[in-house]
Amino acid sequence: MIIKKLKHGADLCEEIKAVCKKEKIQCGWFNAVGALKNLSLAFYDQKKKKYGTLKLKGAYEISSCMGNISFADGEIFVHAHINAADEKGNVKGGHLLKSEIFAAELALFPSRKILKRKFDQTTGLKLWK
């Protein structure tokens, strides 16, 4: 297991990817806690097979963030899902696209197995092959 404090002001997914590159991790899963600002989330429309986006301005507490690390198109791919709460406890969630870290801690669990993603015709998503 790798434990890291992530950089203030950085993008959460990009920081996770940077940790993976530095630690030579090609596959695994992770949990993150902390606080973020100005998030972009995605929700997959199963009928249209397209992502819609939701922009959250301001400060949010991470109430849950988990995901996995694999390869897509020859690059490390960070697949993160998040629930984020505002100052009133209202929670929004989805696939994390972008964010700005206020404070974040990462627990990363490497795997020896290498997983690659490939386009899946049925769902329209890049899934593990």
Sequence-ordered strand ranges (E) for 7-49: 28-45
Contact 35, 60 (CB under 8 A): yes
pLDDT values of the chain reduced to their tens digit, one per residue, 129 residues: 999 999 999 999 999 999 999 999 999 999 999 999 999 999 999 999 999 999 999 999 999 999 999 999 889 999 999 999 999 999 999 999 999 999 999 999 999 988 999 999 999 999 998
Buried-exposed string 80-110: b where 16+ CB fall within 10 A, e elsewhere: bebbbbeeeeeebbbbbbbbebeebebebeb
Structural tokens at position 83: 């629930």
* Residue at 67: amino acid letter: G
Looking up tokens 């996995």, which residue turns up?
Answer: 68
Classify domain 2-128 by CATH number: 3.30.1330.80
